[in-house]
Chains A and B, each alone.
Chain A
């Protein structure tokens, strides 16, 4: 039982990192709460399914195309909508949420419901870690989660675009004075966040089936992880994912699966009441409370 929790809690935590990192990245760089995150996650899954099953492309090609589509959608969302309401927080939330709603319910209308839609796992087979059976897709998830974190870290450390993202995240005005275009960076951030959501979808969906409801769930999970870790704090996101991943798995192991969501919702409410900047974020007293 103990090793069970240790191994599967770890996997759950990395799944949360994958789900939440895109949201955190976008908010961290350009202070845009992308409430369409869950919808983009689900949409990428379905796009990959269409390319793979309907068009008959090889799975790898379908996955790459789907992720590219997610990135393109992110750019479109930024230039058509978010750019016009930037700075008005509430309009940002309402507009992105409405787009997410339109995408998810549109998919439902087009007939993508039920458990008939599945993506194949990238790897088959089962291994034993501490005598706990773990299928290879979950191991792949862990490896890819770490690979993704490493890529983001290298990107923000050694490439021009990555450094620009980091600069805007730290101080937007100073970055603009040094010639970094704030709009282009924000669009890149939204595209990158959407692509990360897409990557997460393609790794996590093969573990279950493709359903529209997953979009709402992923959005809440992403918000929970980001809020507990501190909105916009990237290191906080990773740490919060581990805290929440383990607490989720422990509640499921000892209670009903219903509690999985209760844990997340309670975590959001409690964090915002006690410490709105999150447990790993920097305090910004006046921005968030009076």
Chain B
């Protein structure tokens, strides 16, 4: 007789401070307030100090802004995919619509950049929501395919009919008047979008939105229109996406059909999956990893897309929880091995 095979399992227990700070007791001690605030303050401070730290190197300052742009697009994807259940493979659609409207507002109507961005964000989100409205009843892969086609169709329509500046696009768009307004405008935009969406998913309206993902039949049975709820959520997501697009074209003073390019739909998905889906903060972390990585690989041309794609596949297949979910677990729980008897 051989020894009985000993098996172990990993037990996960919430930390005491997590359990206590989960309710109103958090107000009792500095330690618990600190436990709750530390991760949030760390992220906020990192982003607020980023422009200061990067100001001696304008090139890396721009890279920092690209991180924010990608983070905004990824938050929009994460919100739609993991809170509403609409997997949109066409993030570039939001981005391009925002960019083009801002460009038109600025060059045709002479609006100053910040006003143009505001108009583009709101008007763009309305246009995106209306454009996607007929597809909202679709589920799963059908929605993914149809949204993948929207930005591609925009590129082909602009080329074929030579509208919106044709393949040239718009040039000579006003930039921001100083380095600091450019930097802090976007950083604040990102932080507002991130914390507003996080707050939103915990409100009552957010609960309905999450219910659509979990069980749309029950939402319908409760007498709430599924499509209308989805439309509201798409509006919120496209606000974020359009803002990113509108801001970006003012940074580089031109807009073209590359605003609808496929990379802009794929990169946010990669950032979300690497950072951790369903957390809203994860995508920001993913963007902060991917964008500098792609800058370092810039000399290798299309090899960087290969690297991205392989990293993305690896994460989808082997580590689908992503970084943020892993870190949250380590922060909130203790793990230990116990014997199974």
- In the complex, the answer to whether A101 meets B160 with C-beta atoms within 8 Å is no
Main secondary structure of the interface of B (DSSP, over half): helix
CB distance from A209 to the nearest CB of B (A): 19
Min C-beta distance of A197 to chain B, whole Å? 18
Q: Which residues between 95 and 144 of chain A lie within 8 Å of chain B, taking CB atoms?
A: 95, 97-99, 101-102, 105-106, 108-109
Residues of A within 8 A of B317 (CB): 81, 84-85, 91, 95
Cβ-closest chain A residue relative to B310: A102
- Smallest Cβ distance from B97 to chain A, in angstroms? 16
Please name all residues of chain A whose beta carbon is closer than 8 Å to the beta carbon of B313 when the two chains form the complex: 81, 95, 98-99, 102
**B305: CB under 8 A from chain A?**
yes
State how many angstroms separate the Cβ of B273 from the closest Cβ of chain A: 7
Partner of A99, one of B144, B270, B309: B309
Task: Knowing A94-B316, A109-B302 are in contact, say whether A89-B145 is a contact too (CB < 8 A).
Answer: no
Closest to B151 in A: A265
Interface residues on A, range: 35 or more
Alpha-carbon separation in the docked complex, A255 to B336 (Å): 69
B4-12, B16-24, B130-138 - interface stretch: B130-138
Interface positions, chain A 223-281, Cβ under 8 Å from B, are: 223, 227, 256, 258-259, 261-262, 265-266, 268-269, 272-273, 276
Number of A-B contacts (CB under 8 A): 122
Note all chain A residues with C-beta closer than 8 A to B139: 287-290
A127 → chain B closest CB, angstroms: 34
Question: Chain A binding site: helix, strand, loop or mixed by DSSP?
Answer: helix
Q: A195 within 8 Å of B by Cβ?
A: no
Does B81 belong to the interface (CB within 8 Å)?
A: yes
* Contact string against A for B residues 122-147, beta-carbon threshold 8 Å, 1 for contact and 0 otherwise: 00000000000011011111101110
Of the candidates A90, A220, A258, which one forms a contact with B160 in the assembled complex, judged by CB atoms under 8 Å apart?
A258
Shortest distance in angstroms between A201's beta carbon and chain B's nearest beta carbon? 21
Residues on A lying within 8 angstroms of B by beta carbon are 33, 81, 84-85, 89-91, 93-95, 97-99, 101-102, 105-106, 108-109, 216, 220, 223, 227, 256, 258-259, 261-262, 265-266, 268-269, 272-273, 276, 287-290
Some 29 contacts from A to B, beta carbons below 8 A apart, are A89-B141, A89-B144, A90-B141, A91-B317, A93-B141, A95-B313, A97-B266, A98-B266, A98-B312, A98-B313, A101-B309, A102-B313, A105-B302, A105-B305, A105-B309, A106-B303, A109-B300, A109-B302, A109-B306, A216-B262, A259-B160, A261-B156, A266-B153, A269-B150, A272-B146, A273-B146, A287-B139, A287-B140, A289-B139
11 new A-B contacts at CB < 8 Å, known A102-B309, A220-B152, A262-B156 = A81-B313, A85-B317, A89-B140, A89-B141, A94-B312, A98-B313, A102-B306, A105-B305, A269-B150, A288-B142, A289-B137
Interface residues of B (CB under 8 A from A): 81, 87, 89, 134-135, 137-142, 144-146, 149-150, 152-153, 156-157, 159-160, 216-217, 220, 226-227, 262, 266, 269-270, 273, 300-303, 305-306, 308-310, 312-313, 316-318, 320
